[in-house]
Amino acid sequence: MKVYNTLTRTKEDFIPQEEGKVKMYVCGPTVYNYIHIGNARPYVVFDTVRRYLEYKGYDVTYIQNFTDVDDKIIKKANEEHSSMEEVSNRFIKEAFTDADGLNVKRATHHPRVTEEMDNIIEMIKTLVENGYAYENDGTVYYNTKQFPEYGKLSKKNLDELIEGASERVDKDDAKKNPTDFVLWKPYKPGEPKWSSPWGEGRPGWHIECSVMAKKYLGDTIDIHAGGEDLIFPHHENEIAQSEAANGKPFSKYWLHNGFIMIDNEKMSKSAGNFFTVREISEQFPYEVIRFFILNGHYRSPLNFSRELMQACQNGLERIKNCNTDLQHYIDNCHDSKLSQAETKLLDELEKYRTQFETAMDDDFNTADAVSAIYELVRFINKNLKENISKEFAEREMELLGKLCGVLGINKEKEKANDEDTAVIEELLAKRTEAKKNKNFAEADAIRDKLTEMGVTIKDTRQGVQWFRG
Ligand SMILES: [Zn+2]
């Protein structure tokens, strides 16, 4: 399996430190609003990376944080006369609602900054003691000049960075170097505070990820992931902090997803093309959002548009219909053993598994993996015949289910859907009864009602088949 490592700018063989185990850290959102489509991409992409690693037999420990101390949260709390805690608790809950909708598995741990304060202070103390950080009037800065490798992830040259930063108007004269960044900031009225050796205050943003990765995964992790906008300065700073504090390499592989574009333009609040996942989910089901995200390679920019979403919805529907058809045959076909012709076809079936794995082994190419599923669906549809054996249908179902499971697009129908199913099946039973009694008017009326509910029915020799859409 090859993964593209931002640190080396090359595709490398994936070899975790410990055989069979993967330690993975993904930067999470700052919780002052609903998550937007740009946050949804790393959620879905790295959840899929995790699912594929698990499919390959790895035991994955997955950590994703919530930034629940931040200027934006404080601002929001002040605006609505509530507290930082109230705002962050609310939006953590909402983020879980969206993540669950997107079928993103819960992380092994979801640490929050407010709950990790002792360890944060501990790491800053270590950095000060080691000479990598210094205090000035209640503020603790990281001294970037002390870490010669600063810039190794973003491939930025420290001297050029210093020059660029020193030209900025908002420069901070308390810093030794313009590239130094804040580890701890002093308390200002109206803000939350914690006591520390440098007085009351709160941590800067970057330190939390170094601390949480260390606490839950150890000094060196296998995969650190996030959006490409985090490469500099956030991930560069994480490396500087962790490697200076622990004296060991921080992460073996760095994975970054590309930007989301809206109708070929960069998403921004000012351009008015800024969408939350919740807003989009009102027009398209969550699973379509997930499928849309996986239709592109994670490192390429992804263009979001209504037309592309619609195309993805249709594609997903095709996969789901195939699944429903197949299930119908499994439920109704005679329990016959594989025919000779089917035994031959099994070899062909395996080709789709190989095609899917080849795509995913090549730096998680989900776009090609989706194509492999489409081809599998075509194969299944072509071979769905009245005399198909149960065993053959089950083998096909097993493969389709497994591959869709890696992409997270075969979420069990939700509870509401199940209730819906009970209603549909009751109507279908009534319709069958009406037909048996030659009451065709009633049978037609029930069919119309089902059509209205978005249900299509097909009469086959093995009974009535139905699907949504
Ligand atoms: Zn982070």
Distance from the CA of 230 to the center of ligand 1, in angstroms? 8
pLDDT of 108 > 90? The answer is yes
pLDDT digits (tens, 9 = 90+) for 269-282: 777 788 999 999 99
Residue 169 pLDDT grade (very low, low, confident, very high; cuts 50, 70, 90): low
Distance from the CA of 356 to the center of ligand 1, in angstroms? 31
3-class DSSP state of 446: helix
- pLDDT in the model for residue 165: 76
Distance from the CA of 133 to the center of ligand 1, in angstroms? 19
Distance from the CA of 208 to the center of ligand 1, in angstroms? 7
CB 315 within 8 Å of CB 374: yes
Distance from the CA of 236 to the center of ligand 1, in angstroms? 10
- pLDDT in the model for residue 412: 57
Encoded tokens for 394: 């089950």
Residue 394 burial class via C-beta count within 10 angstroms: exposed 0-12, middle 13-18, buried 19 and up: middle
Mean per-residue pLDDT for 365-381? Answer: 98
Residue 347 pLDDT grade (very low, low, confident, very high; cuts 50, 70, 90): very high
Mean per-residue pLDDT for 62-75? Answer: 96
The pocket of ion ligand 1, defined by CB under 5 A, consists of: 27, 209
pLDDT digits (tens, 9 = 90+) for 399-443: 999 999 999 998 754 344 566 777 888 889 899 899 989 999 999
Distance from the CA of 203 to the center of ligand 1, in angstroms? 13
Please, what is the average pLDDT of the chain? 93
pLDDT digits (tens, 9 = 90+) for 180-189: 999 999 999 9
- Residue 50: closest CA among 410, 409, 408: 408
Distance from the CA of 33 to the center of ligand 1, in angstroms? 18
pLDDT of 360 > 50? The answer is yes
Sheet holding 265-266, edge to edge: 265-266, 260-262, 302-304
User: Residues 144-150: contacts with CB within 8 Å, 24+ apart?
Assistant: 144/177, 144/179, 144/180, 144/181, 144/240, 145/176, 145/177, 145/180, 146/244, 147/240, 147/243, 147/244, 149/239, 149/240, 149/243, 150/179, 150/236, 150/240
pLDDT of 345 > 90? The answer is yes
- pLDDT in the model for residue 196: 98
pLDDT digits (tens, 9 = 90+) for 3-18: 999 999 999 999 999 9
- pLDDT in the model for residue 386: 82
Residue 407 burial class via C-beta count within 10 angstroms: exposed 0-12, middle 13-18, buried 19 and up: buried
Distance from the CA of 258 to the center of ligand 1, in angstroms? 16
- Let me know the angle formed at the C-alpha of 45 by 41 and 50, rounded to the nearest 5 degrees: 145
- pLDDT in the model for residue 455: 83
Which of 16-30, 123-137, 214-228, 379-393 is least confident? Answer: 379-393
pLDDT of 137 > 60? The answer is yes
Residue 172 pLDDT grade (very low, low, confident, very high; cuts 50, 70, 90): confident
Distance from the CA of 38 to the center of ligand 1, in angstroms? 15
* φ, ψ dihedrals at 74, nearest 5°: -60, -40
Distance from the CA of 226 to the center of ligand 1, in angstroms? 8
pLDDT of 133 > 60? The answer is yes
Q: d(Cα 203, Cα 174) in Å, to the nearest integer?
A: 17
- pLDDT in the model for residue 414: 39
Encoded tokens for 114: 């407010």
pLDDT digits (tens, 9 = 90+) for 218-246: 999 999 999 999 999 999 999 999 999 99
pLDDT digits (tens, 9 = 90+) for 452-467: 887 888 887 767 877 7
Sole residue written with tokens 């985090």: 230
Which of 27-41, 69-83, 126-140, 157-171 is least confident? Answer: 157-171
Q: d(Cα 21, Cα 231) in Å, to the nearest integer?
A: 25
Bond preceding residue 233 cis, omega within 30 of 0: yes
CB 330 within 8 Å of CB 397: yes
Residue 173 pLDDT grade (very low, low, confident, very high; cuts 50, 70, 90): confident
Distance from the CA of 110 to the center of ligand 1, in angstroms? 13
Mean per-residue pLDDT for 354-377? Answer: 98
Mean per-residue pLDDT for 92-103? Answer: 97
- pLDDT in the model for residue 426: 87
- Residue 113: closest CA among 184, 199, 25, 203: 203
Q: d(Cα 460, Cα 469) in Å, to the nearest integer?
A: 18
pLDDT digits (tens, 9 = 90+) for 283-341: 999 999 999 999 999 999 999 999 999 999 999 999 999 999 999 999 888 777 899 99
> Per 3-state DSSP, what percentage of the chain is helix, strand, and coil (rounded to 5)?
50, 15, 30
- pLDDT in the model for residue 376: 98
pLDDT of 204 > 50? The answer is yes
pLDDT of 205 > 60? The answer is yes
